């Protein structure tokens, strides 16, 4: 997700409540970030979620 305003937990909930009951499998989600060299911190820039067949 980029600029959708959906957090990783929301996307995981959507996949878990719509896809997982029909097809089984597993859902995982995480935040995407860009490393900032000067500070060593990570700048959040999006999120990802995936459904995988077991």
Q: Residues near 20 by Cβ (< 8 Å), separated by ≥ 6?
A: 26, 27, 51
Model pLDDT, residue 1: 54
Single pTM value for the model: 0.77
Kindly give the confidence (pLDDT) of every residue in the chain, 54 residues in length, as a single tens digit, with 9 standing for 90 and above: 555 788 999 999 999 999 999 999 999 999 999 999 999 999 988 899 999 999
Residue 37: per-residue pLDDT: 97
pLDDT score recorded for residue 16 = 98
Q: Is 47 helix (H, G, I), strand (E, B) or coil?
A: strand
With b for 16 or more beta-carbon neighbours within 10 A and e for fewer, the 26-52 pattern comes to ebebeeeeeeeeeeeeeeeeebebebe
């Amino acid at each position: 997700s980029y600029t959708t305003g959906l957090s990783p937990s929301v996307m995981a909930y959507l996949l878990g409540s719509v896809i997982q009951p029909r097809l089984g499998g597993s859902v995982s989600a995480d935040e995407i970030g860009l490393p900032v060299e000067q500070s060593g911190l990570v700048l959040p820039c999006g999120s990802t979620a995936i459904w995988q067949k077991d």
